Amino acid sequence: MAKFQVGDRAKVKDRPGWPGGYKIANWEGKIAEVKDDPKGYVIMLADKTGYRMAFPEDELDKI
């Protein structure tokens, strides 16, 4: 079962050791789509930019 559902709020986890710092860490948004292919990915609509961004579910925290 998917960790997220459409409409859930999510926050991007930090990636320690990312060269130059992980600039989108802590961005928040709303899950717009849960992908079947590839499984385990979601599309998040970022509050800060309005962009639709794809993430593996493990890189997001529910808020």
CATH code of the domain in which 33 resides? 2.30.30
Percent pLDDT > 90 in the chain is 89
pLDDT at 29: 98
Task: Return the residue matching tokens 């459409």.
Answer: 6
**In-domain check, residue 45:** yes
Nearest to 11 by CA among 24, 28, 25: 28
Encode pLDDT of 28-54 as tens digits: 999 999 999 999 999 999 999 999 999
- For residue 50, tell me if it sits in a domain: yes
Residue 59: per-residue pLDDT: 95
pLDDT bracket for residue 1 (50, 70, 90)? low
Residue 32 within any structural domain of the chain: yes
Instruction: State the residue range of the domain holding 58.
Output: 9-62
- Is residue 57 within 8 A of residue 43, CB to CB? The reply is no
Q: How many domains does the chain fold into?
A: 1
Gap between the Cα atoms of 61 and 7, Å rounded: 14
Q: Does 22 fall in a domain? A: yes
Task: Give a yes or no: residue 23 inside a domain.
Answer: yes
